[in-house]
Amino acid sequence: MKIVTILGARPQFIKAGSVSREIAKHKEIEEIIVHTGQHYDANMSDVFFEEMQIPKPDYFLDINGLGHGAMTGQMLEKIEAVLLKEKPDWVMVYGDTNSTLAGALAAAKLHIKIAHVEAGLRSFNMKMPEEINRILTDRISSLLFCPTDTAVQNLKNEGYTALDCKIVKCGDVMQDGALFYKDLAVKPACDIRDGFVLCTIHRAENTDDEVRLRNIFEALATIAKEKQIILPLHPRTKKIIENLKLNTDNVTLVDPLGYLEMVWLIDHCELVMTDSGGLQKEAYFFENPCITLRDETEWVELVENGFNILAGADKEKIVDTFKNHASCFTPHISLNLYGDGKASQKIVEEMLF
């Protein structure tokens, strides 16, 4: 069996790394990895792949810095050329990026079966490009690997049981990775005080909206008077903050960190504040509460079960939730929301048998 895996962003490589390590146990499977280049990341050097124990890409397409249409179109063209050359049995895609959709479309046009990891997730916000990507990818996939019961139910609600596809609840590959990388975590070389808060902000719905971003940073400035906030910032977001002259008093701003450093911070922090989908789950994996700086989340089970609170960009709600977080969160620790850390094994077994 030959599988072509399409990836475009560093988080996707980390997720796929867990599955690739499982694939490597099976000599009857050949995996070809294609990196579209969607999110250019200087940290993704040879050292990154070696430290993370992730296979290096077989193809690098170098497509980035374009609008949605141009980017997806160029990816579709170049991925199609790779598929015509490699003639795989399966194309595997992850999540909801433009690379995900382009890989799925290229495969579907060539009648190659598609396996979608993280299928069935819905924010129900069609203004998010990620929502469009994940819905379209699900529709043309043959194997839909769902991380949660909610994801499975979303597909059932949309009529997928009547389509020519198979829905599989496999658990979350991110949990596989969290368990694997916890022992490899590295403490960052920055000022770190006990009981710190880890914060990340990167989504366009926040960074491109001055009112939302200003409210969030006013809340952070208030919280930072009581607790250290460590905030790794992408250069683009940092430039926006500087241009808007936002208040970053007392906030510990750091350059983007490697994943193993982020794992250390997630494991050792007191609280996570983020607009990242992945970090919401990683907070849960390490049994930390999370304040989500968005109005909705795909990971509704975290909210429903007391691990996560949606605060949006409401300054008062963000500050109040922080001040009362010891009583605001009512986590049911005994719940196993995302599987048992064997999602990758289940995915490979399903594809083989």
- Tokens describing residue 14: 């980390």
Amino acid at 206: N
Which residues are identified as catalytic? 202
Q: What stretch of H or E contains 273?
A: strand 271-274
Distance, first Cα to last Cα, the chain = 11
Whose CA is closest to 339, among 149, 142, 97?
Answer: 149
Which residues touch 339 (CB under 8 Å, ≥6 apart)?
147, 170, 171, 172, 175, 346
Whose CA is closest to 101, among 137, 138, 50?
Answer: 137
- Tokens describing residue 126: 């069609």
Q: Which strands make up the sheet holding 90-94, listed edge to edge? A: 59-60, 30-35, 2-7, 90-94, 113-117, 143-146, 166-169
- Tokens describing residue 181: 């990388």
Residue with tokens 């496999």: 170
Question: From residue 132, how far is each of 73, 114, 137, 197 by CA, in Å?
Answer: 15, 17, 9, 32
DSSP 203-228: -HHHHT-HHHHHHHHHHHHHHTTTS-
Question: From residue 20, how far is each of 118, 176, 177 by CA, in Å?
Answer: 16, 12, 11
Which residues touch 305 (CB under 8 Å, ≥6 apart)?
331, 332, 335, 337
